[in-house]
Amino acid sequence: MSGLAPPRSPLPGRRAVVTGAGGGLGSAFVEVLRARGYEVTGADIAGAEVELDVCDAEACRRLARRLQPDVWVNNAGVLGAGTVSEQSDAEIERVVRVNLLGVIYGTRAAVEVMLLRGTGRVLNVASLASFSPVPGETVYAATKHAVRAFTLGMAAELRGSPVRLSVLCPDGIWTPMLHDRLEDPAASLSFSGTHLLQARAVAELGVALIESPRHRLLASIPRHRGALARLFGIAPNLFMAGVPLFQRAGRANQRRMLESIERGRR
């Protein structure tokens, strides 16, 4: 698990909130946390126990004050694949509001009650896209860059307090977010790895990060792709030179997955 120390037992209160819990990675977080003994409340705009629009700062505050969580996972996110010049204003605003403002509002709401209670862990889900350029998912990647920067900056502001913030940066995950993008060339870089991650494995790493005895600010999965993304982040010209190769690999993987799905339907 990316070098993390073995997790401790769950935090004393064992109350957790997971946003974006209506499916995909959010559902996996709910399952893993419950298996670890937490009392979990899943929140989403639909399909979860509690209805929550993460873009509503006051709604996030009300939920945090009512539930008094020990753990808060900001997982809600949208992809919004497409070139920036072709995306609508409404789509760009939606991606920025959900992916960035939703994390900021959720974190602030959780931290407010955690500081008063004297304990708490906040996990923000970013992406490997937070380290390097991702043409075709530029706005999405920009929000994930911002989530990483926000988490690390607020963690520094909270240094010395009983509240810990961490950020998880996974590669592409086989969830509904990518199910609908198998035929979308703009999303090809999300499929450029040798395989897509499984939501359960990512959630398990996230919970291990929350429970690690040593405060780990950041973890990426898989580690080798994380290292590559960091390299491209500091050497963007190198990345630009390789973009056509990565896009071709991603398109090939998309086609293979589509063919596999079609065979399974026959």
The pLDDT value given to residue 245? 85
| Domain membership flag for residue 2 | no
Cα 73 versus chain centre, distance = 9
The pLDDT value given to residue 80? 83
Ramachandran angles phi, psi of 68, nearest 5°: 50, 60
The pLDDT value given to residue 114? 98
Catalytic residue among 29, 38, 131, 140: 140
The pLDDT value given to residue 2? 44
Q: Is the pTM of this model over 0.85?
A: yes
Q: List the 218-221 sheet strands across, edge first.
A: 50-51, 39-44, 15-19, 71-74, 120-125, 163-170, 218-221
The amino acid that residue 93 corresponds to is E
| Domain membership flag for residue 110 | yes
Full residue range of the structural domain in which residue 117 is found? 15-265
| Domain membership flag for residue 27 | yes
Structure tokens at 95: 């991606």
The pLDDT value given to residue 5? 47
Residues of the chain with pLDDT under 70: 1-13, 179, 266
Total tally of structural domains belonging to the chain: 1
| Domain membership flag for residue 8 | no
The pLDDT value given to residue 238? 80
Q: Cβ distance 18 to 29 under 8 Å?
A: yes
| Domain membership flag for residue 4 | no
The pLDDT value given to residue 70? 97
Three-state secondary structure readout of the chain: CCCCCCCCCCCCCCEEEEECCCCHHHHHHHHHHHHCCCEEEEEECCCCCEECCCCCHHHHHHHHHHHCCCEEEECCCCCCCCCCCCCCHHHHHHHHHHHHHHHHHHHHHHHHHHHHHCCEEEEEECCHHHCCCCCCCHHHHHHHHHHHHHHHHHHHHCCCCCEEEEEEEECCECCHHHHCCCCCHHHHHHHCCCCCECHHHHHHHHHHHHHCCCCCCEEEECHHHHHHHHHHHHCHHHHHHHHHHHHHHHHHHHHHHHHHHHHHHC
Whether 140 is catalytic is yes
| Domain membership flag for residue 10 | no
The pLDDT value given to residue 242? 80
Query: Which CATH number characterizes residue 59's domain?
Result: 3.40.50.720
